[in-house]
Structure 1
Amino acid sequence: MSLTKTQELLALMARLRDPEKGCAWDVKQDFHSLIPYTIEEAYEVADAIERKDFDDLRGELGDLLLQVVFHSRIAEERGLFNFEQVAAAISEKLVSRHPHVFADVKFDTDEQRQQAWDDAKAEERRQKQPAQQTESVLAGVAQSLPALVQCEKIQNRAASHGFDWPEAEPVFDKVREELQEVHEAWQSGDQPHIQEEIGDLLLVVVNLARHLKVNPEIALREATKKFTRRFNYIEKQVEASGRELRDCELAELDGLWNEAKIHLKAAHKDG
């Protein structure tokens, strides 16, 4: 009987991890050493999606799957769990978190569905806790997440338990307040205080994004790409003049920046 591609992949990883016949690099890896590769592969999946390169996406998803298989193999060798148990766990989780699909529960709004999802996740976290140990509603958010993602998740947790502004308008006021505090800290020259106030400003901007139903991580990534396109335009114009950026006055570069905005928007490359 021929192996499925999943079984073949698992067998290949087992061979690579064989201490005698495998690959020396693969054999010496552990959970911790694989962290940067796992994170990198997840970002490369996101990059392929953003570029709409779906041939590349297929390959990047395979690379990400390899990381799951790699971690699962290490766990199996240590007697912790195996790939089948990983697949079984997520299958059980999907069923429990979708009672409106797999049971007779009905939700009238997206908010009700989201609340049920949050409640199911909270119950899963409670089941992992030792008896009589109270867990914070903010527990379980990975510390290694990008700061914007982590901040949004923390705020969503707090909001789901009632700690949130009921509407967006007060958040605009809070942004203005925090911006003023940054300015005052800057005037004081106290660098640690400036950093603290910048952090407070970023946190409340993430809160504003939540209220406006904008993903702050995606918004910043798109803004950074826009900045890059415009800066690349400036570089090309300066290069065409036979000069380097450092040869130009800021006023000229600022003028080219405004020109880039008009040019790229006309070319449908900018927002």
Structure 2
Amino acid sequence: MLSQNFLADRGAVARVVRAARPGPEDLVLEVGAGNGQLTRALAARCGRVLAYEVDPHLVRALAADCAPLGNVTCRGEDFLGVRPPDAPFAVVGNIPWALTARVVDWCLSAPALTSATLLTQLEYARKRSGDYGRWSRLTVLTWPGHHWRLSGRVPRSAFRPVPGVDAGILRLERRSVPLLPAAALPAWRRLVELGFGGVGGSLHGSLRGGYPRRRLDAAFRATRLDPATPVGYVWPEQWLTLFRLLHAPPRVPADQG
């Protein structure tokens, strides 16, 4: 069971489904279907559910239980080894918390993914969504193409067995229109990696290694960012403004145009 804690509270199941917002035509891939509490609730709202569960005993019981529903396919496979569908799809799951980073990476790399709604440790969900007032490297790095949100909290008492910490409903949405063109993404990644490199004690200090001081100072003034601001306290939107200012083509004087 990969140390998975199963949802045992109907109210918590309903909160996860509301956060996922499945539509009647949607294809949903469920990670770690377990005993089917979430599977059945998703099946009532969406067009088709592919439920993944690696425990052979659980998947057999799940398949028998969901057979009358008609729109659930149970697969006894490792979700992380599955090739993403080519058609648009969403991911929903009460995932094994030890696999959170790998499941998130899978979702981020799937071109046709529209959203992922995942039950994770509350601390992880808060960290990725900026709920602590700080922003992580992964969140900033993927911000042009994905939006991260904390969509709710689930107390540990809603699970069996009861885990040691509460859970968060992490909502990851692929933007229909990216905030940067694909051609700009390599430069964006270099900026973010440099900024989170930890050189200089602040974002400004780290970026001095890659940009002219005068241009960097002007970009920080235009963004209304204190040069002493630690990297984690810079909002993704501020990163985008800095990027656009630092990578804008130089102005050509009017008499030379």
After TM superposition, the score normalised by the length of structure 2 is: 0.22
Higher relative contact order (CA 8 A, sep 6+): 2
For the pair shown, the structure with the greater C-alpha radius of gyration is 1
Q: Which has the higher helix share?
A: 1
